[in-house]
């Protein structure tokens, strides 16, 4: 059994692929994704200019997940356009997704326009869940700014599906407010969620934090964030209905986790921390586990699972 998925005019051969962040920065990592069972090749969130990111140590695996403060290290968007050209030659049937991040509105608009004009990129994911200006919140936590930016983005011509990577929301008022913004635009999908930011993990043996940047605060992923991710997926599914696809991301390390995200309302999922820990072999394992699980439960299609949470 395999389940295909559609985002806009792009067909994905399966519903599981990588999130932007782990193992998708270099050409070698991207080729490895192409050769894997990932249903797409998501490239690293890229900025107008290359970034070296934050000082080391900036990533640490822990028992229930990971903490990082990479600092948007990437090669610059022009390099990812080059990488996409090479990838499309090698993997013509696998969608290539560009992840876009900026530090002002002009950055986002420049990258959206240039990637819309790039024939070897199939889908755009606009990352609204990273801090962009010192003293200001993440864009997606500022609903007025999000509205202003999206209005500008959707004046740019092009036929590529555009989606948004969103941060975790912790209050129903915030998910409702963001949903009202999203409804105004032809958004193809939202990815819920990015890592949970500004967290601290301490090693009691060394009596030190695990990472160095930004007063030792980092972005939390893995098992820790799965309940938050599921809550956000469910909230937006209830608020948005079938207006756009929801891609679940957070705490997925086996086939049952995929199933839970689909029950909550996701129609596809992305893998992050598990990809850091296991490398690209995780895709085949998790797909096999997921298919076996849904077959044993008697499902024959993804549509039967999506949003089918049996509410109390």
Q: What is the DSSP string of 39-81?
A: SSEEPPPB-SS-B--SPSS-EEEETTEEEE-----B--HHHHH
Nearest-angstrom CA–CA distance, 60 and 66: 6
* Spatial separation of the C-alpha atoms in residues 98 and 118, rounded to whole Å: 10
> What strands lie across the sheet with 59-62, from one edge to the other?
59-62, 65-68, 218-222, 196-199
| DSSP β-bridge partners for residue 190 | 164, 246
Q: Which of 125, 197, 191, 116 shows the shortest CA–CA distance to 160? A: 116
Hey, how many other C-beta atoms are within 10 angstroms of the C-beta on 195? 29
Residues 112-146 as b or e (16 or more Cβ within 10 Å = b): bebbbebebbbbbbbbbbbbbeeeeebbbbeeebb
Kindly name the residue from 24, 46, 104, 130 that is annotated as catalytic: 130
Q: What is the dihedral of CA 224, 229, 230, 235, to 10 degrees?
A: 140
The alpha carbon of 247 is separated from its chain's Cα centroid by a whole number of angstroms, namely 8
**Does the active-site annotation cover 130?**
yes
Question: Can you state the percent helix, strand and coil of the chain, rounding each to 5?
Answer: 40, 20, 40
| Residues designated as active site | 130
């Amino acid at each position: 059994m395999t389940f295909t998925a559609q985002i806009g005019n792009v067909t994905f051969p399966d519903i599981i692929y990588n999130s932007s962040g782990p193992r998708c920065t270099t050409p070698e990592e991207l080729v490895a994704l192409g050769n894997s069972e990932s249903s797409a090749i998501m490239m690293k969130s890229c900025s107008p200019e290359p970034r070296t990111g934050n000082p080391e140590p900036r990533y640490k695996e822990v028992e229930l997940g990971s903490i990082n403060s990479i600092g948007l290290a990437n090669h610059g968007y022009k390099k990812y356009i080059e990488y996409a050209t090479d990838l499309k030659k090698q993997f013509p049937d696998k969608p290539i997704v560009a992840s876009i991040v900026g530090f002002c509105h002009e950055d986002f608009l420049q990258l959206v326009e240039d990637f819309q004009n790039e024939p070897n990129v199939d889908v755009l994911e606009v990352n609204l869940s990273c801090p962009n200006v010192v003293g200001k919140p993440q864009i997606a936590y500022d609903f007025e700014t999000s509205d202003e930016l999206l209005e500008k983005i959707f004046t740019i011509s092009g036929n590529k599906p555009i989606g948004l990577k969103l941060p975790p929301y912790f209050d129903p008022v915030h998910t409702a407010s963001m949903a009202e913004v999203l409804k105004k635009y032809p958004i193809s999908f939202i990815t819920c969620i990015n890592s949970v930011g500004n967290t601290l993990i301490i090693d009691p043996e060394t009596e030190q934090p695990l990472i160095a940047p930004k007063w030792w605060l980092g972005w939390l992923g893995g098992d820790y964030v799965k309940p938050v991710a599921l809550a956000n997926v469910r909230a937006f599914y209830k608020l948005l209905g079938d207006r756009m696809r929801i891609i679940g991301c957070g705490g997925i390390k086996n086939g049952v986790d995929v199933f839970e995200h689909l029950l909550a309302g996701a129609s596809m999922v992305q893998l992050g921390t598990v990809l850091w820990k296991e490398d690209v072999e995780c895709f085949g394992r998790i797909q096999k586990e997921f298919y076996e699980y849904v077959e044993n439960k008697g499902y024959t299609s993804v549509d039967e699972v999506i949003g089918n949470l049996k509410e109390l």
